[in-house]
Structure 1
Amino acid sequence: MQGPLILDRYRPIEVKGEGGSGRVEICWDTRIQRRVAIKRMPISNAQANGVVTGLSEARTGAMLSRPSIVSVYDFDRVDDEAFLIMEAIDGPSLAQIIHDTPAGSFDLDIAAAIILAVGDAVEFAHENQVLHLDIKPDNILVNRNGACKVSDFGVSELADAQGFRKASGGTIGYMPPEQMNGHMLDERTDEFALAAVVYEILTGKRPFAANSLDASAKLIQKFDVAPPSSVRLDLDPGIDSVLFTALSPDPEDRYDSIADFLTALMPYLGNAAQGSRRLREIVQVDDEVVEEQSYAPKKRGILDRVSPNLSVILGRVIAAALCWWISTSAFFNITMIDTNIAMLIALLPAVAAAVKPPFGALLAMLINGVSLFLCPVPMPVLGVVAIAAAIAWVVLFGREGVADTNCALVISPLGLVGFAPLAPMIAGYCLPPKRALGAAVIQVVLMLTVGKNTGPELLFGSITSIPTWIMICGWIIATVLMSVLCVRETRILSILGAICAALILLIAQGIGLTILTGFPAGPSGTWAITTVLACVAMCVVGVLGSSVRHKGE
């Protein structure tokens, strides 16, 4: 793109975008030698006085300094144009990312990272008495480092002064009624727009999309909006009331602040730190290669091709089966209860797990703990440990979702069929380190308490024996190490994690047998074979598709 210098300083490179209030050009600052983005907004003489006022108001908002806000370097006006010189962001807008993502499948970790950054920017602006008034996906940008930045602070005032917008600079579909009607605005106005953006991220649809202000206003008053949890089964229904509160037509019914809104919302989303890492991987582009499309999703493994709703249903079916298994195994230890009644009671955790996996898991583990008090040879200490561990796990980790439930409980059936070594590898592969640690502890508790499923090759005796504790330590270390190696979610590191986990499990059993027998010994043949087979299985999964922990499946 060639042309005369803008403001005798900025050399045009390309047109980044164009809208109703003007266009954005990427330019080269010939003085400071850097790329900048310039928003060019045409004005007429009749609008000149309003634009001067708008520039003054906009300057206050646009000069906010925050990592989550696009920096504005300068304002200027020449003849019939106003110029906003801003930081150039070499990355996609949220609108582009939403467009390139199938509706209802937006990664919850990435969603958490984006929403947290936008909330930080808007909350900071509010602390400085600045409203954005035009929060929308087009104004949320992601740079090559995966950092989210909100643009156009202060632009709404300038656009309003120019007469480009009928309703205080907002965009149809994201404006609340008070903004469309020209009433008094406050931070709850931005809260409504942010909630509309969150709804669009999660479902792929704008809740109040319309072609005119009147049509949008009618949709808001009618409020015929599908609950997000009905569109995505991996969302907790609790998120529906949070979003609908923030989207209320009456500002008095919304949260008092962005901070209050985010406090209520974030527990229902994914891991923001993990989402930031994944977002960085998605948007990074080789500096030596010019891509026609600024957003390209990460190469998908075989598990990424599964429909999110199907994967959630499958996960809950597995959770229900595991909870039923543990409950029935526990009842086998209680001879005083009729078998038919026991089987009926065992269905309760299974049904609960199908609806709310962590709750079903808690019920199953509580039944397991109580059974240790009622079995022919009572084990009250283990019973207390099992109940305390179950409650602590649910409070600290279990509420994260179905993945934590399945990874923690899968040891029971795997131990019965002789493939116990696969359990810590599954937990390490699917969960971040802290949550993998929680799952590993529950696996150990279940091995110690669900008698029929412990597997004689794993535990060497009572909980007081040194070989048992060596095996427990090896188990937990193997799980956490594999999880750490899988943090980057690459095939090579996933395979390396499986190999390291297998080696630790083999070494731990070898040391345990050496202490038990008093002679140097390696792992038993059965343990070695099952551990190697588990490692091979996880390596195959690693080749087919990198770690799925970001999906919570």
Structure 2
Amino acid sequence: MANEQLILNRYRPIAEAGSGGFGTVQVAWDTRIQRRVAIKCIQLDESQAFRALQVEARAAYGDPYGSADPYGGDPYGYDEPLDPYAVSLENLPGLDEARTAAMLSDPNIVGVYDFEVQGATAYLIMEYVDGTTLTGLLQQYGDQLSLDVVAAIFSSVAHALEVAHENQVLHLDIKPDNVLINHQGQVKVTDFGLATLSDASGFGTAGGGTIGYMPLEQMRQEALDARCDEWALASMTYEMLTGTNPFLAPDLVKAEAAIEDAELLLPSLCYDGLDPEADDVLFYALDPDREERYDNVEDFAEEMSRFFGNSARGHKELAVLVGQAAIEEFEEEEEVVERISLFDRIGTGRLQSIFVRVWAALGVGLLSFVSLSNIEAVGGWANPVFWGLFALFVLAGVLKPHLGALLSLLSLSAALLFNEAFVAGILLPVCVIAWWFFVGRMGDEAPNAALSPVLFGSFGFNPVSPLVAGFFLSVKEAVITAAMAFVLSVVLAGFGSNSLLGWNALAFWDFGSLDVQHNMAVLLQQPLTWCMLASWLGGAAILALLCRRQTRFSAGLGVVLASALMIVALCLGAWFSSGMVSWIPAWQYALPTVGAGVVMTVACAFGVPIRAGEEDWE
């Protein structure tokens, strides 16, 4: 392609990404470095264009800012030395933005690569962010944003502002249009076109802003500080939580009135699970009087972040949401998630809360009931102490699943000690506390997966436990939780079933007359036990790894492979147990394992949950 078709003889235009009063933003291909870039094309007025052309001409002589040239004069009529700051740094649109953004190298800030002027146009060469703006996200999926997503966006923008403020830069135009989200779920702040450097006293002035996202002091052209950006961030956060911006107005006069007389909704009423204390924090940052706000964005972010979800999970969910816009472009590739899965739709509202807490309450309730029934000191069912402790454990499971799981597992340890199973009663809490500290307390999925042997094992369906862990958790979390579930399965099998398929709750809930520790020792001496342990850990890891792709096909494949691994373990256990004569496992073991695989394969049809804390297993 001819050079005249390139921008600056280097960048091949691909598409126009946006336009405004400044000009346009072009997506282009850098033919030199072979990458996409975004180019803000800013139209200069006649005076700016003439002065820029003069500098360009002098640069051709090798002396762009001097008074002498080898041809005896200035061909543009300027014989006096040219002040470089008068030409290139003063009142030239785009250059201040380039210089400011170049100071702020951070993953949450759109990078600026270069700035050039050619003819009557200034070109700001920027990092290309392949994705959408927060404005587009709110328009398409505003009613689907979970507190995890809000946490990811809020923390990223707050961090970008903290970096800017540390470098004495005020952004002065924080709004959804200037928050970009790429296909990896990464959030970046762009457009430092209004940014200003603070002066020695820490204040700057603004030359503009966007109604709805600028506070009173910015509208009134007063000296500004970091609390101006704080108010803008709070306004944007309020919009994410409630779906509305009450500060929008047709002009500045009405905008001032909108801020001073705003009737604000309580964000906690719009989001199930959002602590009402978050309302006070947000309204504090939105106070019309900046002296009543937090001193800086860092303090505001520290207070506000306590009430949001898991930002790592939010970035995962953002990647899925942004990816939906590009599905049609990748029809020939492997199917991607066409919508947020049922599990994550449940995870974004009231149904998630009910689902997780019912699961936790059932697991915690059943385990604590059995444990307390086998502790004579509690006094049995006729003693109010029994029911008081039982209600306390169940309530903990409902309010904080990870706490309920911890208490019920420790109560099982106490029951073992009271029944003279001292080794098991000491080793179990060690395993429980280690698992809880490193994994269990980090969310609600791991506690529920760890308690799966209590629920599913109560009717002989225990092989589903490692599949549940792999389906809902990251690789490392799944392996550790599967190990915890296996330990619990061995303890429960010691109640009398002597089978890792389950513990038969109706028949073996009372283990006071049994030698639980002996039963566990017998079970641990069987080769099948160790083969099953290896398959549980391996199966959970395989399924969790394939679920990372966030597609139904990969998750279903993971279930099939994990189930096959558990069947192979059963065959290997049968081979060792038969003296290396037969590979055929007992149907009592094989049938529930196949059934667990079928159930989890069906679950994959509803979608793949977005997991927090995904990281490579090493």
The TM-score bracket by the shorter chain reads: 0.7 to 0.9
Q: Which deviations, in whole Å up to 9, do the C-alpha atoms of 1:245-282 show, x marking residues without a partner? A: 65555466526453882697278432527725861784
Paired residue for 1:92, among 110, 123, 132?
132
Closer/same/farther in 2, CA of residues 93 and 55 from structure 1, 3 Å limit: closer
* Correspondence 1:506 to 2:564: no
- For residue 171 of structure 1, what is the aligned residue in structure 2? 210
- For residue 74 of structure 1, what is the aligned residue in structure 2? 115
* TM-score, structure 1 as length reference: 0.79
Distance (Å, rounded) in 1 between the aligned partners of 2:431 and 2:472: 21
Paired residue for 1:530, among 592, 595, 609?
592
Amino acid at match of 2:353: V
Correspondences of 1:108-127 after superposition (within 5 Å): 108=147, 110-127=149-166
Listed as ranges, the gaps of 5+ residues in structure 1 are 159-165
Amino acid at match of 2:595: L
Distance (Å, rounded) in 2 between the aligned partners of 1:167 and 1:436: 51
Q: CA deviation at 1:401?
A: 3.2
Q: CA deviation at 1:126?
A: 2.8
* Correspondence 1:279 to 2:281: no
- For residue 132 of structure 1, what is the aligned residue in structure 2? 171
Correspondences of 1:151-162 after superposition (within 5 Å): 151-157=190-196
* TM-score, structure 2 as length reference: 0.71
- SS of the residue corresponding to residue 132 of structure 2 reads coil
Correspondences of 1:444-523 after superposition (within 5 Å): 444-450=486-492, 456-458=498-500, 461-463=519-521, 465-467=524-526, 468-516=529-577, 518-521=579-582, 522-523=584-585
- For residue 141 of structure 1, what is the aligned residue in structure 2? 180
Amino acid at match of 2:40: I
Q: Which deviations, in whole Å up to 9, do the C-alpha atoms of 1:348-384 show, x marking residues without a partner? A: 222222222222223322322222222xx22233333
Q: Is the 8 A contact 2:364 2:405 kept in 1?
A: yes
Correspondences of 1:141-220 after superposition (within 5 Å): 141-143=180-182, 146-157=185-196, 168-206=207-245, 208-209=247-248
* Correspondence 1:440 to 2:482: yes
Q: Is the 8 A contact 1:189 1:251 kept in 2?
A: no
- For residue 413 of structure 1, what is the aligned residue in structure 2? 455
Q: Tell me which moved more, 326-335 or 528-537.
A: 326-335
- For residue 364 of structure 1, what is the aligned residue in structure 2? 408
Amino acid at match of 2:592: T
- SS of the residue corresponding to residue 63 of structure 1 reads helix
Amino acid at match of 1:26: Q
Q: Is the 8 A contact 2:343 2:608 kept in 1?
A: no
- For residue 201 of structure 2, what is the aligned residue in structure 1? none
Distance (Å, rounded) in 1 between the aligned partners of 2:208 and 2:337: 32
Q: CA deviation at 1:329?
A: 1.6
- SS of the residue corresponding to residue 68 of structure 1 reads coil
Q: Is the 8 A contact 1:404 1:439 kept in 2?
A: yes
* Correspondence 1:431 to 2:473: yes
* Correspondence 1:339 to 2:381: yes
- SS of the residue corresponding to residue 467 of structure 2 reads helix
Amino acid at match of 1:547: V
- For residue 601 of structure 2, what is the aligned residue in structure 1? 539
Amino acid at match of 1:283: G
Q: Tell me which moved more, 107-116 or 213-222.
A: 213-222
Q: Tell me which moved more, 416-425 or 348-357.
A: 348-357
Q: Is the 8 A contact 1:490 1:547 kept in 2?
A: yes
Q: Is the 8 A contact 2:281 2:300 kept in 1?
A: no
Distance (Å, rounded) in 1 between the aligned partners of 2:248 and 2:496: 56
Distance (Å, rounded) in 2 between the aligned partners of 1:176 and 1:491: 46
Aligned length: 531
Q: CA deviation at 1:139?
A: 0.5
Amino acid at match of 2:229: D
- For residue 355 of structure 2, what is the aligned residue in structure 1? 314
Q: Is the 8 A contact 1:428 1:436 kept in 2?
A: yes
Distance (Å, rounded) in 1 between the aligned partners of 2:269 and 2:496: 39
Amino acid at match of 1:313: I
Amino acid at match of 1:369: S
Distance (Å, rounded) in 2 between the aligned partners of 1:533 and 1:539: 10
Distance (Å, rounded) in 1 between the aligned partners of 2:330 and 2:520: 63
Q: CA deviation at 1:409?
A: 1.6
- For residue 395 of structure 2, what is the aligned residue in structure 1? 351
Q: Is the 8 A contact 1:416 1:452 kept in 2?
A: no
- For residue 26 of structure 1, what is the aligned residue in structure 2? 26
Q: Is the 8 A contact 1:320 1:354 kept in 2?
A: yes
Listed as ranges, the gaps of 5+ residues in structure 2 are 52-85, 198-204, 502-517, 614-618
Q: CA deviation at 1:123?
A: 3.3
- For residue 162 of structure 1, what is the aligned residue in structure 2? none
- SS of the residue corresponding to residue 115 of structure 2 reads strand
Q: Is the 8 A contact 1:179 1:185 kept in 2?
A: yes
Q: Tell me which moved more, 450-459 or 145-154.
A: 450-459
Paired residue for 1:254, among 291, 294, 298?
294
Closer/same/farther in 2, CA of residues 255 and 514 from structure 1, 3 Å limit: farther
Q: Looking at CA atoms only, which structure, 1 or 2, has the larger radius of gyration?
A: 2
Q: Is the 8 A contact 2:546 2:558 kept in 1?
A: yes
Q: CA deviation at 1:93?
A: 0.9
Amino acid at match of 2:191: D
* Correspondence 1:37 to 2:35: no
Q: Tell me which moved more, 204-213 or 340-349.
A: 204-213
Distance (Å, rounded) in 2 between the aligned partners of 1:179 and 1:208: 14
Closer/same/farther in 2, CA of residues 156 and 536 from structure 1, 3 Å limit: same
* Correspondence 1:387 to 2:429: yes
Identity rate of aligned residues, in percent? 32
- SS of the residue corresponding to residue 499 of structure 2 reads coil
Distance (Å, rounded) in 1 between the aligned partners of 2:101 and 2:281: 30
Q: Is the 8 A contact 1:416 1:454 kept in 2?
A: no
Distance (Å, rounded) in 2 between the aligned partners of 1:7 and 1:485: 43
Distance (Å, rounded) in 1 between the aligned partners of 2:304 and 2:257: 27
Amino acid at match of 1:129: Q
- For residue 417 of structure 2, what is the aligned residue in structure 1? 373
Q: Which deviations, in whole Å up to 9, do the C-alpha atoms of 1:100-147 show, x marking residues without a partner? A: 1042x2145554544454344333333332221211110012345554
- SS of the residue corresponding to residue 353 of structure 1 reads helix
Distance (Å, rounded) in 1 between the aligned partners of 2:577 and 2:530: 12
Q: Which deviations, in whole Å up to 9, do the C-alpha atoms of 1:188-212 show, x marking residues without a partner? A: 4333433443443344344755555
Q: CA deviation at 1:493?
A: 1.6
Q: CA deviation at 1:488?
A: 0.9
Closer/same/farther in 2, CA of residues 149 and 391 from structure 1, 3 Å limit: same
Q: CA deviation at 1:491?
A: 1.4
Q: Which deviations, in whole Å up to 9, do the C-alpha atoms of 1:265-316 show, x marking residues without a partner? A: 278432527725861784387799599xxxx983344445557222322322
Distance (Å, rounded) in 2 between the aligned partners of 1:207 and 1:352: 39
Distance (Å, rounded) in 2 between the aligned partners of 1:308 and 1:287: 25
Q: Is the 8 A contact 1:427 1:436 kept in 2?
A: yes
